[in-house]
Amino acid sequence: MKRRRIIFVLAAVLIAAPALAQQQVGTATAVNPLSESTPPGGATAPLTVGARIIHKERIHTTSSGTAQLAFLDKSTLSIAPNTNIVINEFVYDPNSGKGHMLASLTQGALRFVGGALSHAGEASIVTPAAAVGIRGGTFMIVIDRTGVHVFDLFGIGTVHNAGGTMILSRAGYEVTILSWTTPPGQPVRVTVAEIDRLLALLTSKPGQNGGVPGLHTVTIGECGLLGTQSTNCPNTTWLPTDTGFNDAGQIITQGTQFGTGTTVQGTTARPGR
């Protein structure tokens, strides 16, 4: 009898494992071609708006592709061209607000806007040079020939590798990490030119519509049917400032509202505050 019970429990575990792997953890809310996804054990296929994102799914964008993913805890990932990312783990209980998120970025760039798990300190992104824990904030991570760059747009980030740990807590600053065994560099202020470059990475190009038929994008801030205001357009006013960073924060807020239909507070902090 005991042996039968053990066999039954093992069978239940084996049945539940594939179900967990196929559990939806998020949705693609904006996609410019060509962006692709590869589910665990499945074939690579073009990513489209509304597509389910599941555990262990790999997202890949080409030189013209960008994507935004919205997760169950209201966090979002905006993915730049020529980027590879895997959603390793995402566990979230909406009743308790507990869980954790882990993603791996091996190439390219992304912007993470934290949701409930981030506010609990349970959101992490691993790169070849460091693991970045994000708490209640908005961060951008870029991999290029000079290393891994972690940009604090708002909130607190813990940058950790075999060489040491760096706490990044000043909006408008960045840390560069050369390798997994090299200590993270000291935070330095981000220039306006660098902010502009980062924003360009995640902005739809002329003629792209984010995968939403009828949308027409020509310049930053334009949205709607051939320039006409649309119901799914961000409604936050974009007010130019002399800092450059407030511009960036407002555009980030607009992009997040567009993708998730929610309002994100506190993403317009000035550098050094």
Q: What is the mean pLDDT of the chain?
A: 75
> Quick one: pLDDT at residue 33?
84
> Quick one: pLDDT at residue 209?
59
Residue 54 has pLDDT above 60, yes or no: yes
pLDDT in tens, 257-270: 444 444 444 333 33
Residue 256 has pLDDT above 60, yes or no: no
Mean pLDDT of 139-145: 94
Residues 6+ apart with CB under 8 A from 19: none
Find the radius of gyration of the CA atoms of the chain: 19
> Quick one: pLDDT at residue 58?
93
Tokens describing residue 53: 């994102």
Q: What is the amino acid identity at position 37?
A: S
pLDDT in tens, 223-248: 333 334 434 333 333 333 334 334 44
CA distance 63 to 51: 21
pLDDT in tens, 25-48: 888 888 888 898 888 888 888 888
For residues 67, 68, 70, 74, the Cα torsion angle rounded to the nearest 10 degrees is 160
SS3 10: helix
Strand locations in 145-192 (E): 147-161, 164-168, 173-177, 188-189
CA distance 184 to 176: 6
Tokens describing residue 100: 């954790």
pLDDT in tens, 181-220: 999 999 999 988 888 888 888 877 766 656 665 544 443 3
pLDDT band at 127; cut points 50, 70, 90 = very high
CB of 185 closer than 8 Å to CB of 177: yes
> Quick one: pLDDT at residue 163?
95
Strand locations in 185-270 (E): 188-189
Nearest C-alpha neighbor of 112 from the set 64, 152, 55: 152
Please report where in the chains the tokens 């994102």 appear, as a residue.
Answer: 53
> Quick one: pLDDT at residue 248?
41
Q: Would the pTM count as exceeding 0.75?
A: no
Residue 119 has pLDDT above 60, yes or no: yes
Fold of 24-192: Jelly Rolls (2.60.120)
> Quick one: pLDDT at residue 125?
96
Nearest C-alpha neighbor of 69 from the set 106, 108, 115: 115
